[in-house]
């Protein structure tokens, strides 16, 4: 056809060359012709381009997920403020403009992160020397400073943002929430001071001179205006199970880790009431650095043998707690680690070594997300700003250098997406999808497994319902049905395809699901009796007097069956209640639960299977019917002429010939079932469980997109991950459909040659 238009166009053009220049009317016509050609080309290619754009766009949204971290250095400068003093602590604020350095001479130096110029210097009250600085809370920017005399001062470094003359101005401030006079712990300087500030108490913990652990709980009473009053508590003291030289206490002040760094031992205590030893654990090597990750659940230990390990408390199956060594991170060639810094809201941490090399890891995925040589000297301190887009490194010789870090999506790795991951507060590795929670520092669980599983499970049950009905129905329609009936039946079934899925989903969720729940025995009885009753009816039909049988015209068997099926189904459901009362003690679900241990969920895979099955039946039916109907007639006629029965002809001749067509029908149906959204959204509970049981709910990729997309932050990992699941759906259905199309094309050619 199209060749005709092409060959047809050629002579006109040739003619145009002859006459175009002569008649002005002709010239206008040829102009129009060229214009039309141009418009169609541009428009047509534009439309096709727009459709291709979908794929390109999805890809462009997904691609950044797999990029690794990048570092962009800012100007290097020597430490701001008193160069002779030792730097105990560095931090930087949200906007990565102002940094803070705390020196051992009791000075807080706020400086510009671009050029190192000192913005402001604050002398700590008391103005003596400082023994140590420890962070209480990164989110609150709260620090505990221990002076030479062993007094503990709590302070917050705050940054006020104002916009004079429409330019951002950041003013650093220091607050003393519990006053400017220090709290005391033992009266003498202690090692490894940890302070935890909760709503009702301030907990001080440290290792004292003789190696025992001291704990002190200062009760806090807060007035209406937020002023806190501290009443000093008693000092508790106990000897740890290891020769501790480092302490860690989690933010909830529930767990205390006493670490023997040189010996490589950890003792875990539960300190909610009296300190209670949970266990003593071997690390396997001496420990260089130990730190909490964001969220304060996981502890990261940098070991002397070049390994980095992650630990957190978990429970055994017996219910007892223990400290689990969760995973290891491989450092390149046994680096001599000198610094460890972790992000405030994500589980990323940076490890710096003596060569000035920094490696970024993401704890949950266990992946190394980036590596960069920051300095030429050993790194002494590493500090992220709260947004984790800036990393400040302090070298051993006192040089400081800041880096803009682009590490948008450390959470994603192949193993995090598809493998079992041991998440914090879980007792074993699992596949989980939980994309958001109330707190900002929670550990997102981005496993696509439960969603993919749910998608395939829904598609599986849908196909289980649809394939037999659609293909058997198509066989009858194409082979045995009378032409008049076929003319009515085919459009009716095809009309079902146009039924909006939102209506199917609504009926499935609000009508079918409760119906099946209360009539479960009836459903099973129907599944059992209906297929049995049909051949029996067929046999009974042969025994009917001929006068009755001949009244039904050839090819109308399906029509006789309609009342029969309605009757059988009705009888099954009418019988079901007494059957349930007698066999299942009146409640089949609780019977299943008690005797078979099967949980029953009202909106389950069975309901989805039926509803989505109904949605895909027309697709499969229509294509299968076409494939069978267009099998060349002489093939089946030949078979019949050789004495085969109708059924033999169908099974041995027609079906094998049409099977590629049926295959492609199933593929297209499967593609539709996989991408269907509204039905699964409405007919399942949308819980991302991985349970193959037909009586359990599920959550599919598509429903997940519909639920979570509107709330997802643009450009976040979660957002891009949803695009990734969309891309997976796109590619999956596109491949299925192309495969089906190719098979059908081959089949059509085959029919032409037969």
Partner 1 sequence: MSNTRSTSTHELTVSGRVGVRDYVSSGAPYVWLTASAIAVSIIITVALLALTAVRGIAHFWPADLLEASYVEPGHAPFPVLAEVRSSEEVTVARLINAGIPVSEDQDLYQRLLLKVGNRDIYGADFRYVLDEWMQERSYPEDATVWERVEWGNLHGFLERVTRDGEVIAARDQRWDAYRDVQKRANGLREEIREIEKDRIGAVNYKLERLRLAEKRLQLDGKSRASDAPAFAKIDAERDALKQRYDTLNQERGDLYRELGRDSITVRTIDGDLHEIPLSKLISGWQPNRMNVFQKTGFWLEHFWQFISDDPREANTEGGIFPAIFGTVLMVILMSIFVTPFGILAALYLREYAAQGPVTRAIRIAVNNLAGVPSIVYGMFGLGFFVYFLGGSIDRLFYPEAAPAPVFGTPGLMWSSLTLALLTLPVVIVATEEGLARIPRSIREASLALGATKAETLWRVVLPMSSPAMMTGLILAIARAAGETAPLMLVGVVKLAPNLPIDGNFPFFHFERKFMHLGFHIYDVGFQSPNVEAARPLVYATSFLLVMVIVILNIAAITIRNRLRERYKALEH
Q: Taking phi first (over 0 means left), then psi (-120 to 50 degrees means alpha), and beta for anything else, what does residue 366 get?
A: left
**Quick check: 607 binds partner 1 (CB under 8 A)?**
no
CB-neighbour burial class of residue 158 (10 A; exposed 0-12, middle 13-18, buried 19+): middle
Instruction: Write each residue from 561 to 600 as x if it is in contact with partner 1 (CB under 8 A), else as -, in one continuous string.
Output: xx--xx----------xx-xxx--xxx--x----------
Instruction: Write each residue from 531 to 560 as x if it is in contact with partner 1 (CB under 8 A), else as -, in one continuous string.
Output: x--xx-xxx-xxx--x--xx---xx-xxx-
How far apart (Å, rounded) are the C-alpha atoms in residues 9 and 15? 10
- With a CB cutoff of 8 Å and minimum separation 6, the contacts of 597 are none
Least distance from partner 1 to the Cβ atom of residue 168, Å: 17
3-state secondary structure of 274: coil
Choose the binding region for partner 1 from 121-129, 417-425, 430-438, 481-489 (rule: CB under 8 A): 481-489
Torsion 306-310-313-315 (CA) sign: negative
**Quick check: 272 binds partner 1 (CB under 8 A)?**
no
For residue 166, CA distances in Å to 111, 162, 249, 264 come to: 22, 9, 43, 54
**Tokens of residue 377, six digits:** 């000297």
**Tokens of residue 367, six digits:** 């992946």
3-state secondary structure of 709: helix
Phi, psi of 388 (to 5 degrees): 60, 30
Q: Within 20-39, which residues bind partner 1 (CB under 8 A)? A: 29-30, 32-33, 35-37, 39
Answer for which of 462, 507, 658, 666 binds partner 1 (CB under 8 A) is 507
Least distance from partner 1 to the Cβ atom of residue 506, Å: 5
3-state secondary structure of 660: helix
Helix axes 449-479, 605-629, angle to 10 degrees: 40
Least distance from partner 1 to the Cβ atom of residue 134, Å: 40
Least distance from partner 1 to the Cβ atom of residue 489, Å: 6
**Quick check: 149 binds partner 1 (CB under 8 A)?**
no
Choose the binding region for partner 1 from 85-93, 175-183, 369-377, 485-493 (rule: CB under 8 A): 485-493
**Quick check: 730 binds partner 1 (CB under 8 A)?**
yes
Residue 395 sits at the vertex; the CA angle it makes with 394 and 399, to the nearest 5 degrees, is 80
Least distance from partner 1 to the Cβ atom of residue 241, Å: 53
Closest to partner 1 by CB, 342 or 519 = 519
**Quick check: 12 binds partner 1 (CB under 8 A)?**
yes
Least distance from partner 1 to the Cβ atom of residue 533, Å: 9
Closest to partner 1 by CB, 45 or 118 = 45
**Quick check: 499 binds partner 1 (CB under 8 A)?**
yes
Q: Within 626-645, which residues bind partner 1 (CB under 8 A)? A: 629, 633, 645
Strands (E), 51-97: 70-78, 87-92
Residues in the chain: 754
Least distance from partner 1 to the Cβ atom of residue 638, Å: 14
How far apart (Å, rounded) are the C-alpha atoms in residues 165 and 505? 56
Phi, psi of 160 (to 5 degrees): -90, 130
Least distance from partner 1 to the Cβ atom of residue 510, Å: 6
Answer for which of 239, 272, 503, 641 binds partner 1 (CB under 8 A) is 503
Least distance from partner 1 to the Cβ atom of residue 695, Å: 17
- To the nearest 10°, report the CA torsion of 742, 748, 752, 754: 90
Answer for which of 132, 218, 477, 657 binds partner 1 (CB under 8 A) is 477
Answer for which of 253, 662, 678, 690 binds partner 1 (CB under 8 A) is 678
Closest to partner 1 by CB, 422 or 730 = 730
**Quick check: 705 binds partner 1 (CB under 8 A)?**
yes
Answer for which of 675, 695, 698, 699 binds partner 1 (CB under 8 A) is 675
In this structure, are residues 205 and 244 in contact, taking their beta carbons and an 8 Å threshold? no
Least distance from partner 1 to the Cβ atom of residue 2, Å: 5
Closest to partner 1 by CB, 303 or 733 = 733
Strands (E), 251-347: 255-260, 265-270, 276-282, 287-292, 299-303, 307-315, 321-330, 337-342
Closest to partner 1 by CB, 61 or 93 = 61
**Quick check: 729 binds partner 1 (CB under 8 A)?**
yes
In this structure, are residues 316 and 271 in contact, taking their beta carbons and an 8 Å threshold? no
User: Strand pairing of 321-330 and 183-184?
Assistant: unpaired
Q: Within 457-476, which residues bind partner 1 (CB under 8 A)? A: 468-476
In this structure, are residues 689 and 698 in contact, taking their beta carbons and an 8 Å threshold? yes
**Quick check: 502 binds partner 1 (CB under 8 A)?**
yes
Place of tokens 């931090």: 91
Answer for which of 373, 738, 746, 749 binds partner 1 (CB under 8 A) is 738
Instruction: Write each residue from 46 to 85 as x if it is in contact with partner 1 (CB under 8 A), else as -, in one continuous string.
Output: xxx-xxxxx--xx--x------------------------
**Quick check: 440 binds partner 1 (CB under 8 A)?**
no
C-alpha 531 chain-centroid distance = 42
**Quick check: 166 binds partner 1 (CB under 8 A)?**
no
**Quick check: 418 binds partner 1 (CB under 8 A)?**
no
Closest CA to 256 of 303, 290, 284, 210: 290
- With a CB cutoff of 8 Å and minimum separation 6, the contacts of 642 are none
Q: Within 87-116, which residues bind partner 1 (CB under 8 A)? A: none
Choose the binding region for partner 1 from 282-290, 361-369, 380-388, 734-742 (rule: CB under 8 A): 734-742
Closest to partner 1 by CB, 121 or 587 = 587
**Quick check: 681 binds partner 1 (CB under 8 A)?**
yes
Closest to partner 1 by CB, 385 or 622 = 622
Q: How many residues at the interface with partner 1, by CB under 8 A?
A: 143
Strands (E), 495-569: none
User: Strand pairing of 379-384 and 191-197?
Assistant: unpaired
C-alpha 674 chain-centroid distance = 18
Closest to partner 1 by CB, 646 or 750 = 646
Least distance from partner 1 to the Cβ atom of residue 503, Å: 5
C-alpha 272 chain-centroid distance = 34
Closest CA to 695 of 597, 629, 552: 597
Closest to partner 1 by CB, 113 or 614 = 614
Least distance from partner 1 to the Cβ atom of residue 481, Å: 6
């Amino acid at each position: 056809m199209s060749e005709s238009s092409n060959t047809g166009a050629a002579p006109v053009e040739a003619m145009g060359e002859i006459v175009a220049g002569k008649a002005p009317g002709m010239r206008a016509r040829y102009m129009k012709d060229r214009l039309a050609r141009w418009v169609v080309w541009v428009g047509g290619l534009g439309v096709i381009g727009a459709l291709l754009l979908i794929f390109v766009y999805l890809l462009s949204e997904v691609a950044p997920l797999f990029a690794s971290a990048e570092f962009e250095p800012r100007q290097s400068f020597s430490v701001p403020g008193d160069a002779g003093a030792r730097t105990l602590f560095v931090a930087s604020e949200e906007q990565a403009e102002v940094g803070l350095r705390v020196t051992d001479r009791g000075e807080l130096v706020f400086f510009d992160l671009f050029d190192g110029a000192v913005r402001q210097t604050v002398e700590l009250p008391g103005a003596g020397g400082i023994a140590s600085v420890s962070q209480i809370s990164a989110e609150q920017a709260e620090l505990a400073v221990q002076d030479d005399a062993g007094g503990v001062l709590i302070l917050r470094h705050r940054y006020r943002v104002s916009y004079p003359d429409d330019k951002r101005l950041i003013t650093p401030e220091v607050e003393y929430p519990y006053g400017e006079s220090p709290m005391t712990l033992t009266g003498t300087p202690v090692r490894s001071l940890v302070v935890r500030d909760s709503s009702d108490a301030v907990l001080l913990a440290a290792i004292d001179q003789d190696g025992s652990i001291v704990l002190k709980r200062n009760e806090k009473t807060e007035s209406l205006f937020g002023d806190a009053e501290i009443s000093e508590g008693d000092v508790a003291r106990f000897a740890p199970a290891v020769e501790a030289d480092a302490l860690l206490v989690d933010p909830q002040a529930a767990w205390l880790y006493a670490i023997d760094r040189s010996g490589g031992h950890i003792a875990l205590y539960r300190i909610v009431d009296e300190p209670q030893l949970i266990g003593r654990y071997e690390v396997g090597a001496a420990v260089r650095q130990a730190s909490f990750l964001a969220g304060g659940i996981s502890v990261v230990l940098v070991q002397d043998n070049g390994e980095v390990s992650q630990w957190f408390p978990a429970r055994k199956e017996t219910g007892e707690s223990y400290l689990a060594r969760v995973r290891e991170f491989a450092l390149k060639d046994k680096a001599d680690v000198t610094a460890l810094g972790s992000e405030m809201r994500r589980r990323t941490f940076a490890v710096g070594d003596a060569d000035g090399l920094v490696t970024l890891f993401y704890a949950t995925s266990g992946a190394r997300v980036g590596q960069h040589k920051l300095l030429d000297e050993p790194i002494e301190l590493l500090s992220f700003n709260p947004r984790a887009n800036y990393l400040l490194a302090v070298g051993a010789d006192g040089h400081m250098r800041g880096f803009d870090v682009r590490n948008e999506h450390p959470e994603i790795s192949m193993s995090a997406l598809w493998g079992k991951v041991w998440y914090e507060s879980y007792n074993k590795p699992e596949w989980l999808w939980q994309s958001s929670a109330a707190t900002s520092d929670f550990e997102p669980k981005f496993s696509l497994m439960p969603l993919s599983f749910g998608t395939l499970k829904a598609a599986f049950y849908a196909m289980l319902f649809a394939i037999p009905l659609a293909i058997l129905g198509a066989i009858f329609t194409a082979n045995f049905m009378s032409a008049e009936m076929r003319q009515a039946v085919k459009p009716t079934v095809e009309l079902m395809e146009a039924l909006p899925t939102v209506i199917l989903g609504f009926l499935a969720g609000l009508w079918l699901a409760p119906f099946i729940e209360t009539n479960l025995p009836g459903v099973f009885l129907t599944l059992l009796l209906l297929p049995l009753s049909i051949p029996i009816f067929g046999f009974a039909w042969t025994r009917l007097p001929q006068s009755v049988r001949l009244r039904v015209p050839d090819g109308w068997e399906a029509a006789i069956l309609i009342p029969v099926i309605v009757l059988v189904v009705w009888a099954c459901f009418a019988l079901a209640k007494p059957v349930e009362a007698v066999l299942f003690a009146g409640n089949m679900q609780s019977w299943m639960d008690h005797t078979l241990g099967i949980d029953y969920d009202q909106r389950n895979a069975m309901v989805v299977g039926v509803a989505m099955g109904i949605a895909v039946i027309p697709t499969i039916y229509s294509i299968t019917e076409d494939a069978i109907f267009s099998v060349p007639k002489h093939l089946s006629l030949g078979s019949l002429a050789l004495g085969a029965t109708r059924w033999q002809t169908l099974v041995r001749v027609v079906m094998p010939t049409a099977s590629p067509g049926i295959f492609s029908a199933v593929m297209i149906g499967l593609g539709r079932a996989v991408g269907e959204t509204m039905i699964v959204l409405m007919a399942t509970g949308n819980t991302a469980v991985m349970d193959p049981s037909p009586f359990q709910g599920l959550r599919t990729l598509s429903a997940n997109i519909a639920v979570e997309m509107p709330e997802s932050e643009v450009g976040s990992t979660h957002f891009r991950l949803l695009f990734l699941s969309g891309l997976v759906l796109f590619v999956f259905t596109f491949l299925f459909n192309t495969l089906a199309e190719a098979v059908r094309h081959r089949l059509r050619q085959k029919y032409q040659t037969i």
